[in-house]
Amino acid sequence: MKHFTTLLVVGLTLTCALPTGAEDYGTPLSNLYARTRTDLSGPWRYIVDPLQSGRVTDKGTRYPFPLDIKQQPGGTLVEFDWDQQASIVVSQDWNSQIEALEFYTGLVWYRRTFDFFPQDERRYFLYFEAANYHTTVYLNAEKIGEHEGGFTPFAFEITDRVHKGRNSLVVGVDNTHTSETIPELAYDWWNYGGITRPVHIVDVPETYIHDLWIAYSAENGGVLTGSLLLDGTQQANTEVRIEIPELNIAETVHTADDGVTTFEISPPPIELWSPEHPRLYTVTVSSALDSVSDQVGFRTVATHGHDILLNGEPIFLHGISIHEEPIGPVGRRGLDWKTAEQLLRLARDELGCNFVRLAHYPHSEKMTRLADRLGLLVWSEVPVYWAIAYTNEHTRDVAVNMVTENVMRDRNRASVIVWSVANETPIHDERGAFLGAMIDRVRTLDPTRLVSAALDRTTKEGDTIIIDDPLGERLDLLAVNEYEGWYGSRSIDDITNLRWETPYEKPMIFSEFGAGALFGFHGPKHERWTEEYQQHFYHQTLKMTESIPFLRGASPWILKDFRSPRRFHGLYQNFWNRKGLVSETGEKKLAFFVLRDWYATIKAAHSAGGS
């Protein structure tokens, strides 16, 4: 849908058509951290329910956990009592907190009580930053909603349901994966279950600013375009102020009947955001009742032939892939600002990265906000990984919803330059249609960024690898996961002979390459699991990249060793994927320095005028 709006522009007024991207997709309000809210993190009671006994059915049961009832004298049997249950900390997964749940997959119920005093003329939303995977939410014994997907935010309005005084919130989270979920049954990371990110009660006025999106385009000497969405009884024909004090911008726009408006502003010269200069501006939007500010960077990203252009200049992505696990001896979710910053600073300050691939699912919003501040470019991905039920409509709808929630959360983050729709998916028509639907949605919501997917299968002819996956047609950036020398039969010594071709006139990055090594295990460079093998693998693979004229970056696999239930070797792995350049506790392996030096060399060549 396009909205034709009269735009107020500094200096002149013009009328043009912009994709609003602000239609109500049912996604939660954006810019969570700038809202008035109560964080419900802390100890919650929990019940492990492997047989799903607590699901409320119309037959009635002895275990209606969501109803939070107690045995009454002379009453029918009730076989639980929430107040007698042990506690678990929200927001952290259950696997790392309760030993017996380390490998648990299934349903766990959570309960938290809280006192609340709702005010007139205010609205309240229960906002989950993420819960893995299928979540059912009850407030005061009433079901308020469900959500499917482990890594994106969702919210339910509770204005009419939250009580004055005591409230009982019961949440069932089931992390079972099936042939219809995303990901499906096989994946290479820990299926950390539970309410893995904070839960908030967000407090907004009756008519509030649901979403603001603002982006920079270099057209016509530079313009800021965007859209905003008001929600409430006064959403129509309402005046909204957009202010960026550091640019002397103070504009007024009016919403249409649906609460949406688009705008286009010609700003004075802007200091563009880049890794070298991650400039953020304070953008404030105010309506009669509401006001929200965000810190936003302005930059452009595009491709031209084989180049990736940031602010019009060719850029090489010195990257690393990262899973969402803090550095430390215990694998877990639950990044806070400090642990998130530790990961990103290790990548930027010690490895010399300007780019991070946040694999294989949307990471906490803290990561992309920190990347904005630290000047790291981000590849943002959803877990459409390996085999998925490509012909299943429900699965496709969930996938499209996932990209929607991801884009709507982060499209004001200058750091995010790539939306990835998938990782290593098999090539067939149904997969093409499935990923095509996701790509269409992403481009509707945000035509300002690159779309990609990490590709796997390519044609091999002797030593030549041809990147000819038909999906390449629909992508802006080709991305390839490459493991010759670790998986497969090719010797590590031969990988320098590999040659790469593609029929696409597009830039390519290696979204992965890597080999396993146990920190502190040393030996000959041909002995697997030694740091020397991994070091040799990096030397060889980096050498091989020199012959690829269209290579514009890499995000090797991976910054830190991470937990995975498919890594069984009792000596080297013990359920850790050992392809980290640092161990789980942060000790650097030899290959870390190979990549660091390579990035330093490329950077030096680039500043000396090379490409």
Interface contacts to ligand GCB, rule CB under 6 A? 188, 360, 423-424, 481, 512, 557, 577, 579
Q: Which is nearer to ligand GCB, 101 or 465 (CB)?
A: 465
The set of residues, in sequence order, having a beta carbon less than 8 Å from that of 423 and lying 6+ positions away, is 359, 360, 381, 383, 384, 385, 386, 453, 454, 481, 511
Cβ at position 579, least distance to ligand GCB in Å? 5
Collapsing DSSP to helix, strand or coil, 28 comes out as coil
Cβ at position 557, least distance to ligand GCB in Å? 6
CB-neighbour burial class of residue 311 (10 A; exposed 0-12, middle 13-18, buried 19+): middle
CB 316 within 8 A of CB 307: no
Cis omega before residue 91 (within 30°)? yes
Determine the Cα–Cα distance for residues 130 and 366; give it in Å rounded to an integer: 12
Nearest Cα to Cα of residue 599 among 391, 337, 351, 396: 351
Cβ at position 294, least distance to ligand GCB in Å? 32
The DSSP string of 504-534 is S-S-EEEEEE---B-TT----TTSTBSHHHH
The set of residues, in sequence order, having a beta carbon less than 8 Å from that of 607 and lying 6+ positions away, is none
Q: Which is nearer to ligand GCB, 116 or 572 (CB)?
A: 572
Residue with tokens 């504009």: 251
CB 374 within 8 A of CB 297: no
Cβ at position 486, least distance to ligand GCB in Å? 8
Cβ at position 481, least distance to ligand GCB in Å? 4
Cβ at position 179, least distance to ligand GCB in Å? 19
Cis omega before residue 183 (within 30°)? yes
Q: Which is nearer to ligand GCB, 226 or 331 (CB)?
A: 331
Q: Which amino acid is at 416?
A: V
For 337: left if phi > 0, alpha if psi spans -120 to 50, otherwise beta; the answer is alpha
- Please give the sequence-ordered ranges of beta strands (E in DSSP) within 435-588, or none if there are none: 450-455, 459-461, 464-466, 478-482, 499-501, 508-513, 551-554, 562-563, 576-577
Cβ at position 425, least distance to ligand GCB in Å? 10
Q: Which is nearer to ligand GCB, 424 or 446 (CB)?
A: 424
Cβ at position 424, least distance to ligand GCB in Å? 5
Cβ at position 543, least distance to ligand GCB in Å? 21
Q: Which is nearer to ligand GCB, 445 or 515 (CB)?
A: 515
Q: Which amino acid is at 115?
A: D
CB 357 within 8 A of CB 319: yes
Q: Which is nearer to ligand GCB, 134 or 360 (CB)?
A: 360
Cβ at position 251, least distance to ligand GCB in Å? 45
Residue with tokens 């990984």: 385
Please report, to the nearest 10 degrees, the dihedral formed by the alpha carbons of residues 356, 359, 363, 367 taken in order: -10
Q: Which is nearer to ligand GCB, 434 or 513 (CB)?
A: 513
Q: Which is nearer to ligand GCB, 158 or 480 (CB)?
A: 480
Q: Which is nearer to ligand GCB, 156 or 361 (CB)?
A: 361
Q: Which amino acid is at 108?
A: V
Cβ at position 385, least distance to ligand GCB in Å? 7
Cβ at position 577, least distance to ligand GCB in Å? 5
Q: Which is nearer to ligand GCB, 324 or 446 (CB)?
A: 324
CB 27 within 8 A of CB 405: yes
Cβ at position 423, least distance to ligand GCB in Å? 5
Q: Which is nearer to ligand GCB, 557 or 592 (CB)?
A: 557
Q: Which is nearer to ligand GCB, 451 or 453 (CB)?
A: 453
Q: Which is nearer to ligand GCB, 216 or 361 (CB)?
A: 361
Collapsing DSSP to helix, strand or coil, 383 comes out as coil
Determine the Cα–Cα distance for residues 503 and 470; give it in Å rounded to an integer: 10
478-506: b (≥16 Cβ within 10 Å) or e = bbbbbbbbbeeebebeebbebebebeeeb
CB-CB neighbours of 248 under 10 Å: 10
Determine the Cα–Cα distance for residues 487 and 483; give it in Å rounded to an integer: 6
Strands 42-48 and 87-90: antiparallel
Nearest Cα to Cα of residue 68 among 141, 134, 129: 141
Q: Which is nearer to ligand GCB, 92 or 481 (CB)?
A: 481
Cβ at position 367, least distance to ligand GCB in Å? 18
Closest CB to ligand GCB belongs to which residue?
A: 188
Determine the Cα–Cα distance for residues 450 and 440; give it in Å rounded to an integer: 13
Cβ at position 322, least distance to ligand GCB in Å? 12
Q: Which is nearer to ligand GCB, 210 or 333 (CB)?
A: 333
